[in-house]
């Protein structure tokens, strides 16, 4: 994502909550990376930190709740599944 693309997100007319909720995880990760790099510049745009916090919170929430749009590896347990095999008691 280049600076021009990032500037479209930082436009004050865009609601971060609505925009972030509508993006797939891959786009959120790309936006988080671009915002991180932008925040490391000498004079980041006003509001960039708020956007970064919103994006990273959304990514964290999706990963914790299992609503991320990337499928788990076949050997990874899904949400609510146990890891490994269950061993009968006794």
pTM above 0.85, yes or no: no
| Alpha-helix residue ranges (DSSP H) falling in the chain | 3-10, 16-22, 25-39, 48-65
pLDDT at position 80 is: 45
Section 4-21 average pLDDT: 86
pLDDT band at 42 (very low <50, low <70, confident <90, very high): very high
pLDDT of residue 31: 94
Average pLDDT rounded to a whole number, residues 41-64 = 94
Question: CA 22, CA 74: separation in Å to the nearest integer?
Answer: 27
CA-based nearest residue to 28, from 64, 65, 1, 66:
1
At what angle are helices 3-10 and 25-39 packed, to 10 degrees? Answer: 100
Mean pLDDT of 50-79: 74
């Amino acid at each position: 994502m280049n600076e021009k693309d990032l500037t479209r997100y930082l436009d004050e007319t865009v609601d971060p909550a609505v925009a972030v909720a509508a993006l797939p995880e891959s786009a959120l990760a790309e936006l988080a990376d671009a915002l991180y790099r932008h925040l490391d510049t000498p004079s980041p745009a006003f509001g960039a930190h708020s956007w970064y916090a919103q994006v990273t919170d959304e990514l964290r929430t999706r990963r914790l709740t299992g609503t991320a749009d990337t499928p788990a590896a076949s050997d990874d347990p899904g949400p609510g599944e146990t890891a490994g095999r269950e061993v009968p008691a006794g």
